[in-house]
Structures are given as structure tokens and as C-alpha cells.
Amino acid sequence: MANEITKIKLEDLGYDGFLDLKWKSLELTNSSVARVIAEHKEAYKVKNANGEYLAKITGKQMFNARKREDYPAVGDWVAITELDKERAVIHDILPRKTMLKKKYSDKQDTQIIATNIDTAFIIESLDRDYNLNRFERYFVLANEGGVKSAIVLNKTDLVSEAELTQRIDQIKHRFDNIDIIATSTITVRGLDELMIYMTKGKTYCFLGSSGWASLR
């Protein structure tokens, strides 16, 4: 019964058959699986069925790391040893299903935005920030990482229905087979639709000109 409860909780965090197969192939004894939910300087916050921990990687991992992708990132599933109720050690990173990353403008290395994402919501406001070319840049970012994209058009309260329809038509004409959700936090338009779009056990992130939001 305890193992079944643990499995359900891990599934709520996005754990699935693919990850379970990879986990078993590592054959790590005396370790448990957890997900990285935040990254701090030289430390990570990880979460599993038992709770949340502040975790650090081993010196061996740091020595063997050759590039940024060799370090844990937000969204990663990792093998940990729980030291106490608050601290843990990360021993290994499970293979990633998907990865959002971008290259530094002046470096060979890359910046990992998040891993193991199912859908990236590309969010833009219907005001002066609106830009069709920006959508395309984010689509390329998502496609290269194997992540599905959807569009969230926010601040619909700032435009007329005719203008909103025109913007949606422009997007559909330029990009094929893309889901579009029109929202407003003022009128709460589309928020229910957005919540219904997100299903239990999947992982989502928000991409936009102001950065990216936490995983869900």
C-alpha cells in the first residue's frame, strides 16, 4: 500500500512509465527519485513523495561535468539520498524527455530554462508588447527541445472583440495547428479554459517577453 501511495504522488509530479524505466535501468540502491523544482546558487530544491529538500550534487558530479547540461536543472528527475527531513544529496540525473534551452550570445555553452516539459504556453499581451515574430522565436525554442506549444493571448480587456478576432486570424494564418487561449485577469475571461487545458500529471511552463514562470 505504501508503495502505491508513493507512486501516485510521484505521478502527480509528472513521473511516468518512461521515467520509471530509466530509473530502474540506473540500478541505484539506497536512493529515491525526486524532481528539481527550484535552483539556487550551488543548491537545488527537490521534491518527492516524502517532502521537499535542499539538495547539493556530489563532488564527483562536479568534477565530471563538462558543460551546463551535465548539471541538474529545474524539471529534472534526479536520484537522491535523503540526509534528514530538510537536506539531500543528488547522485544522478535521469535522462530528459524534453529540454528548453537557449545559447548564450557570447559563449559556446547553453542556458537550460527547464526540462521534461509537456507543453510551453507562449504568452503575450494584446498591447504594445504584441509581436508575431516573437511567437516564432519561441516556437523554434520549443520545437528544438521536443516541447509542444500553445499560445495565451492575455489582456483581452484592452482590445475590442473585432481586434481580438483579427489578431487570432493573423496567428492562425501564419502558424498551423496551434492552440490559442484568449485570457484576461481583469475580466477572468479564458482562465477556466486555461485550467481545463492543463491536465493532472503533466508539466507546463509559461514563456514570454518578461521571462518564464514556474512549472505547473
Give the residue extent of every domain in the chain: 2-93, 117-212
Q: Which residues pair with 120 in a beta bridge?
A: 149, 205
pLDDT in tens, 42-65: 899 999 988 999 999 988 877 787
pTM score, whole prediction: 0.84
CATH of domain 2-93: 2.40.50.140
Confidence bin at 210 (pLDDT 50/70/90): low
Task: Estimate the crossing angle of helix 132-144 against helix 161-174, to 10 degrees.
Answer: 40
Per-residue pLDDT at 18:
87
pLDDT in tens, 167-198: 999 999 999 889 999 999 999 999 999 999 99
CATH architecture of structural domain 117-212: 3-Layer(aba) Sandwich (3.40)
Among residues 198, 19, 7, the alpha carbon closest in space to that of 116 is found at 19
The three cell numbers locating residue 132 = 508575431
